[in-house]
Structure 1
Amino acid sequence: MAPFGFGAPLFPGAPRARGKYAAGGRGFVEFGSPVPEIVEAWAAGLRRRELIDWGGVAFRIARVVPVDPPDFSEGVARMRTSTPVVMKGSGRDEGGERTTRQAWLLPTDVEFPAYFDQNLRRKLETLGLEAKVVLEGLTWVGAKRSFSVGKGLKPGAPVEAELRGDPEALQAIWSWGLGQANSAGFGWVSADSRAG
């Protein structure tokens, strides 16, 4: 598991057009990690650059602003993703027989909560945190979207999830993202304060 994630570049002032990605003018892109050394390396690398190439589009870097996660002192967090959450399931049918190795789950699938909780546990284990975070429920599910990453399509949907657990563990999850493939831009947790 790669402990970092990122969101899609956003351009709040760009004119909107149905069916097209709004781009142009000033914007921002968010990168994050629960590992401070990764955040420091990203920030230092970006500060040394004037431009970054994002899929063939040049972005001029105006500033780099680190943002701390919320404190989650109550042990409850509501996290909404700006990119689809992807999650693989068992690939087994009702009889327990494996039918596929690429069993992508949507948030409305029966297996989704169990695999989502398992992913949360694996993330915390990867970070060496013994604390626990559990999914209390999904409070919103966005439209299904599929993206080509490597070989094939990864389907998912943005979600708003209510999580309960240790504040430090919730901060780590907030900084990393929800679901799988965060290092490919999936499951990025958006926060207005990150836009600066």
Structure 2
Amino acid sequence: MGSPVPRIAACLLAALAGRGEIRWGSVVLSVKGIQLDSVVSHSDGVAVFDTVSPVLVKYDDRYILPEDANFQTGLTHNLRHKADLLGLSNEVEVEVLNSGPRRRFDVAKGFRIGATARIRVAAAPQLLDALYEWGLGLSTVEGFGWIR
């Protein structure tokens, strides 16, 4: 169980403390342990993000993968757009270090194709902090692009 927002994760942690099990609908889950990952400092303006869910990037109305030619361009555009929405500097450099296998996910409005990735991002520390909580790429609200 997780959340890309540490404040939400801290609330989950407090709620689960001391519980031996939780019910998720009709399923009973045993709680083996709980832990909150520490928040990383981005004060130097460079971060290496490892995603736990596939990063979604579209180019010419199709989903592309980290090894595709326009992936870095598309992701850079996405991150600059997020910076603009937050009123932060949109100077961003992106470098894909490696990626996982192609994955296809069926969702309510069709399908999504992406891959997990390890990505180096150079940007303002405030933007890196925001991306750490927000995630990388498209459809982060659906659980894509979450950062470890």
TM-score by length of structure 2 reads: 0.79
Flag the 1:132–1:153 CA change in 2: closer, same or farther, 3 A: same
TM superposition shift of 1:108: 1.7
Which residue, 127, 130, 146 being the options, matches 2:104? 146
Q: 1:118 aligns with which of 77, 89, 92?
A: 77
CA 47–122 in structure 1, closer or farther in 2 if over 3 Å, else same: same
In structure 1, the partner of 2:56 is: 86
Q: CA deviation at 1:185?
A: 1.2
Greater strand content: 2
Percent of residue pairs identical:
30
Work out which of the two has the higher radius of gyration on C-alpha atoms and give 1 or 2. 1
Does 2:147 match 1:189? yes
Q: How does 1:28-107 map to 2 (within 5 A)?
A: 29-33=1-5, 39=7, 43-44=10-11, 47-48=14-15, 51=22, 53=24, 57-59=27-29, 67=37, 69-91=39-61, 103-107=62-66
Q: Which amino acid aligns with 1:122?
A: H
8 Å Cα contact 2:42-2:128 kept in structure 1: yes
Give the conservation status (yes or no) of the 8 Å contact 1:47–1:63.
Answer: no
After superposition, the CA RMSD in angstroms is 2.7
Q: Deviations over 1:160-184 (max 9, x none)?
A: 1111111121111112211111111
User: Mind listing any 5+ residue stretches in structure 1 that lack a counterpart?
Assistant: 1-28, 92-102, 191-196
Flag the 1:71–1:142 CA change in 2: closer, same or farther, 3 A: same
Query: Any conservation in 1 of the 2:45–2:123 contact (CA below 8 Å)?
Result: yes
Indicate the SS of the match to 1:179.
Answer: coil
- AA partner of residue 111 (structure 1): N
How far does residue 60 in structure 1 lie from its aligned partner after superposition? 5.7
Report whether the alignment pairs 1:134 with 2:93.
yes
Q: What amino acid is the match of 1:31?
A: S
- The secondary structure found in structure 1 opposite 2:112 is strand
Q: 2:81·2:90 contact (CA, 8 Å) conserved in 1?
A: no
Q: What is the letter of the counterpart of residue 24 of structure 2?
A: D
1:155 aligns with 2:126: no
Gaps of 5+ in 2: none
Please say which of residues 124-133 and 179-188 is displaced more in the overlay.
124-133
More helix by share: 2
Task: Kindly tell me the number of residue pairs found equivalent between the two proteins.
Answer: 144
Superposed CA deviations along residues 12-45 of structure 1, whole A, max 9, x for unmatched, are xxxxxxxxxxxxxxxxx22023xx8xx35x6547
Question: Which of 164, 175, 178 is residue 122 of structure 2 equivalent to?
Answer: 164
